[in-house]
């Protein structure tokens, strides 16, 4: 280190040519000077160029937010409180509509696009409550009278009320009704209608309207909804 110090002191008083001459004569000292300079540069870079560690934040489970994908929501949960009603006849958009539980006939018609021209709502009870699986038929003008004159059934009216009649008193005879006629009853879908027909085939005719409760799937609530619209 003493040789390096002496070299630096002498270099201050030398011109460039004298420095080169001295460097050739004292090659080892010059090499030490260069090496020392490089070590100092490396030390400076290592000390001041080192990145400070990034702060690490660990979120507790109580602070973590999760996003829920709506597409993974259980369909049964989405459909809770809703009913499906088949609206046909003189409406703008016939088909199955989804309504809130407790909906009325007029709301089903609105959901189907409203009444079509030449519709006849006289046979309908627009305030009647609907149930899941109901079928609502809105007749055209003159259709109801024509059906009554010909004695045909299922040509006009509201599912679950007079209009889909297979007897002279405007009620559906559960001993002779077809699957379509049975489906016109409130709360009776295609599956339950099939069960009623199968029950008749195996056990014979119903002797009284309340005997329909013997069919699997028809409980007290369903019977209360249809008892005024059926006969034997």
From residue 192, alpha-carbon distances to 94, 133, 201, 208, 225 in Å are 23, 10, 14, 18, 15
* Structural domain that includes position 213: 78-231
104 plus 163 within the same structural domain: yes
Region 108-115: mean pLDDT is 96
- Exposed/middle/buried for residue 232 (C-beta within 10 Å: 0-12, 13-18, 19+): middle
| Of 186, 220, 222, 192, nearest in space to 105 by CA | 186
84 plus 44 within the same structural domain: no
Which CATH number do you get for residue 184?
Answer: 1.10.150.320
With contact defined as beta carbons under 8 Å apart, do 120 and 90 qualify?
Answer: yes
- Indicate the pLDDT class of residue 164, thresholds 50, 70 and 90: very low
The pLDDT assigned to 143 comes to: 75
**172-173 and 230-231: which strand pairing?**
parallel
The pLDDT assigned to 42 comes to: 76
122 plus 11 within the same structural domain: no
Q: How many beta carbons lie within 10 A of that of residue 211, not counting itself?
A: 15
Higher pLDDT, 150 or 172: 172
pLDDT tens digits, one per residue of 11-21: 556 666 666 66
* Average per-residue pLDDT for the chain: 75
**Helix, strand, or coil here: 63?**
coil
The pLDDT assigned to 72 comes to: 41
11 plus 103 within the same structural domain: no
Residue 63 lies in a domain: no
Query: Which of 47-51, 55-59, 110-114, 222-226 bottoms out in mean pLDDT, i.e. has the lowest?
Result: 55-59
Residue 116 has pLDDT above 70, yes or no: yes
Residue 71 lies in a domain: no
125 plus 201 within the same structural domain: yes
172 plus 104 within the same structural domain: yes
Residue 128 has pLDDT above 80, yes or no: yes
84 plus 33 within the same structural domain: no
39 plus 125 within the same structural domain: no
pLDDT tens digits, one per residue of 152-162: 444 444 444 43
Distance CA 207, CA 202 (A): 14
18 plus 85 within the same structural domain: no
From residue 185, alpha-carbon distances to 24, 146, 166 in Å are 117, 22, 12
Region 176-182: mean pLDDT is 85
95 plus 185 within the same structural domain: yes
């Amino acid at each position: 280190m003493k040789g390096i110090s002496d070299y630096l002191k002498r270099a201050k008083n030398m011109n460039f040519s004298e420095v080169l001459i001295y460097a050739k004569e004292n090659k080892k000292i010059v090499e030490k000077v260069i090496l020392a300079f490089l070590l100092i540069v490396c030390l400076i870079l290592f000390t001041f160029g080192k990145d400070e560690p990034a702060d690490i934040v660990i979120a507790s489970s109580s602070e973590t937010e999760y996003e829920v994908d709506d597409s993974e929501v259980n369909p049964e949960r989405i459909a809770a409180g809703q009913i499906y009603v088949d609206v046909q006849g003189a409406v703008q958009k016939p088909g199955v509509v989804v309504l809130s539980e407790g909906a009325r006939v007029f709301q089903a018609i609105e959901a189907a696009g409203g009444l079509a021209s030449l519709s006849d709502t006289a046979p309908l009870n627009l305030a009647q409550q609907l149930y899941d699986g109901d079928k609502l038929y809105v007749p055209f003008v003159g259709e109801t009278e024509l059906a009554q004159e010909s004695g045909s059934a299922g040509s006009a009216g509201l599912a679950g009320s007079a209009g889909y009649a297979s007897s002279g008193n405007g009620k559906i005879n559960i001993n002779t009704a077809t699957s379509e006629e049975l489906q016109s009853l409130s709360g009776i879908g295609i599956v339950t209608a099939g069960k009623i027909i199968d029950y008749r085939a195996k056990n014979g005719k119903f002797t009284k309207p309340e005997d329909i409760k013997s069919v699997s799937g028809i409980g007290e609530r369903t019977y209360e909804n249809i008892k005024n619209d059926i006969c034997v």
